Amino acid sequence: MEERDEISIGLADKTGALLMINKKERKLIREILSVTLKSPAAKEWIIKKFGREYIPIGEKLLNVMGGDKQSVPAEKDH
């Protein structure tokens, strides 16, 4: 049986397939989201590539993954 720290979390991808990510992968995704959502240039890229609705999706994902939601500044209207 795996140790508690190494339990994988399941996420659904765009096809609906279940993805299992381990503790190190969660930590990496959490840090990438945190840095990205603090950067106006990165947020603008996300908006251009995927659409404005992906910013709150990223913020919610960061929050669900245990990221510091207070460290992510609120998005300004463009």
Does 16 have pLDDT greater than 80?
A: no
Does 1 have pLDDT greater than 50?
A: no
**pLDDT tens, position by position, 48-57:** 999 999 999 9
The Cα–Cα gap between 22 and 78 comes to: 36
Helix, strand counts (H, E) of the chain: 3, 2
Predicted structure pTM score: 0.63
**pLDDT tens, position by position, 20-48:** 888 898 899 999 999 999 999 999 999 99
Per-residue b or e along 40-74, where b marks 16 or more CB atoms closer than 10 Å to that residue's CB: eeebeebeeeeeeeebeebbebbeebebeeeebee
Q: Which amino acid is at 24?
A: K
**pLDDT tens, position by position, 54-71:** 999 999 999 988 887 554
Please give the pLDDT value at position 2. Answer: 45
The Cα–Cα gap between 69 and 46 comes to: 18
